[in-house]
Structure 1
């Protein structure tokens, strides 16, 4: 798991500029590559000095770190993906095909439910396809938990994910008009191939990204040609009961868009409340923060301009 996230960190650093260039959904703010890289880096760094433990505990620690430091839609969904993958692996000493299939299935369920308005043709579709691809292979192997079976299951997940990335161009009108695939989907594809790479001891697949619409180095930076974006992205952590969290989510849905809300931990405090990580796009920070402060005390607040041309974060607007 350490080697996976370290390799994903390095790979996303190498691809961040190209991912930014095709980032036009849900807003064309040209930062998907940067957001994914910084979020994966947080997860990777959390494991560098961690004492050896089981697979589930390792991924859970990485998921918590990623969620607390998540950047943007893509980073937030990656952190949900990582934390959810940890759940079926709790107490397990090694990864195998059946566990991988279960983890990807759990991750796609959690990721779809974290968004108020999940949209096909995004990182969600790619994750769903990867989970289905892994499950199909694992089912054909009748519970084989060998390393060879794990490699085959990973191959199935990556192959299905790539097919789903290609389809994103036709699933979302804005991507079809711009002739690009979804940036978050490509980022997840790279992350999954990093896992395959460290497990089987092979390099990343050289032809993995060949033919993806808009992804050639010589292709234009389509994100910077899109209309100027307005508003801000607000992210924070707040501890609430499930009922209060549901009420806040409904209110945030009315105030803005791109609402993502996911529990940071499955452990409740003495009052039955859980820490939640929130993400929303709103015209101004106060719109979201006033609603959040009415029910809880937000921490680890991050505010960023949605415009790709913004020269600095909007923390001064707090």
Structure 2
């Protein structure tokens, strides 16, 4: 059965699915980040920007697709993080502008919206560079326009668009020499493709088995082999990623942009007459902030030292790394605070694949990695990493989050791998866990 239109509630559903997929792969995307600077945060920035968009959607009471798209754009603008996050916010802004006034959208409407999204993103960047998320978004929009002329089914359009976005992503190293040198595809482009994968997953869950055989996307499309961004030694000319929002009235983006030009690179000034988002890489964040103050009040000020971020990525290898599987920002935060090097998003009803665990392990700065599956349904996938990963993998067969936390408490970085495995297994085995769930 064809899907010919999409309404506001359905748009919210597919955007949430895109965010979920992005959450699961954001650390992998971070590891690809070498352009415009190798600071290893593209996936995280895109994810946080997308979450801000979804939170704003939650305030919408009108169910039209125009209202949902506009809320997503508004939330993304306020919550945009980093260069990739600002570009993502502009993609959503162009998408929303095209759908203004629509209660629902047809295949042709969505194709035009994707085209306007790409055009808006290009305009937001002072000096657009091919081989980035901009290229992937443009190629995806072109594919969508082509598909919309030949089918009214949104699923077919999405699949065709995804495949051409993936082709564009695989070609990014040929367009941008720094990617070729580092052996990676563009991180922002990868994030864009990952969002589409989540959207396709939503459609796939609604298809019959016969339709799946004909239309299921291949999430394992071959990509250039890549090394973590931490191993790429690139120069960072402008050290401080400076971001803020200007609140005022009758704000003119071009005026502020011209005043900031020359103070750094990766400059973007976007927004509305009462709210402007500013992003720039500079060596003089104070001067940038003073310039912004001349136009209005500043909020959400963030200044990050990218040289320091990259230095942390290039730290010496650890003797032992830890990868854990967990779900929920609170639990993930606790895992991080207890020394976990990477957390793969997953758990009950959302089991990560062996490939996802392997990717996380490969990005950990250590040749020896301990994996905590923290769910009985994930243990088998975790054990399979021992045969696939190039690193030495040890799996502690934890079946619950409390067992995983107990194992982390028992970890001693001063001891050997064998000693830690034994201690962590004993600690996990000593924990008894009870759960409460809602009956059907």
Instruction: Summarize the Cα distance change of 1:173–1:220 in structure 2 as closer, same or farther, 3 Å threshold.
Output: closer
Give the structure 2 partner of residue 315 of structure 1: none
| Larger RCO (CA within 8 A; separation ≥ 6) | 1
Give the structure 2 partner of residue 83 of structure 1: 93
**Is this contact kept in 1: 2:182–2:232, CA < 8 A?**
no
Give the structure 2 partner of residue 211 of structure 1: 222
* Partner Cα separation in structure 1 for residue 250 and residue 306 of structure 2: 30
Instruction: Summarize the Cα distance change of 1:166–1:20 in structure 2 as closer, same or farther, 3 Å threshold.
Output: same
Q: How many residues align?
A: 292
**Is this contact kept in 2: 1:30–1:224, CA < 8 A?**
no
* Partner Cα separation in structure 2 for residue 16 and residue 310 of structure 1: 20
Gaps of 5+ in 2: 1-10, 207-211, 313-440
Q: 1:222 aligns with which of 212, 229, 233?
A: 229
Secondary structure at the aligned position of 2:270 is classed as strand
* Partner Cα separation in structure 1 for residue 278 and residue 49 of structure 2: 15
Give the structure 1 partner of residue 105 of structure 2: 95
- Pairs within 5 Å for 1:117-136: 117-136=127-146
Secondary structure at the aligned position of 1:299 is classed as strand
Report deviation, 1:8. 2.0
Give the structure 1 partner of residue 180 of structure 2: 176
Report deviation, 1:253. 2.1
* Partner Cα separation in structure 2 for residue 59 and residue 310 of structure 1: 38
**Is this contact kept in 2: 1:116–1:253, CA < 8 A?**
no
Pairing 1:152–2:162 present: no
Give the structure 1 partner of residue 295 of structure 2: 295
* Partner Cα separation in structure 2 for residue 222 and residue 281 of structure 1: 19
Give the structure 1 partner of residue 241 of structure 2: 233
Between 1:29-38 and 1:198-207, the stretch displaced more is 198-207
* Partner Cα separation in structure 1 for residue 304 and residue 249 of structure 2: 24
Q: CA RMSD in A?
A: 2.2
Q: TM-score, normalised by structure 2?
A: 0.62
Instruction: Summarize the Cα distance change of 1:280–1:50 in structure 2 as closer, same or farther, 3 Å threshold.
Output: same
Gaps of 5+ in 1: 266-272, 312-318
Q: TM-score, normalised by structure 1?
A: 0.85
Give the structure 2 partner of residue 164 of structure 1: 168
* Partner Cα separation in structure 2 for residue 284 and residue 207 of structure 1: 46
> Per-residue displacement from partner, 1:85-137 (whole Å, max 9, x unpaired)?
11222232323211111100110110000011110000000000010000011
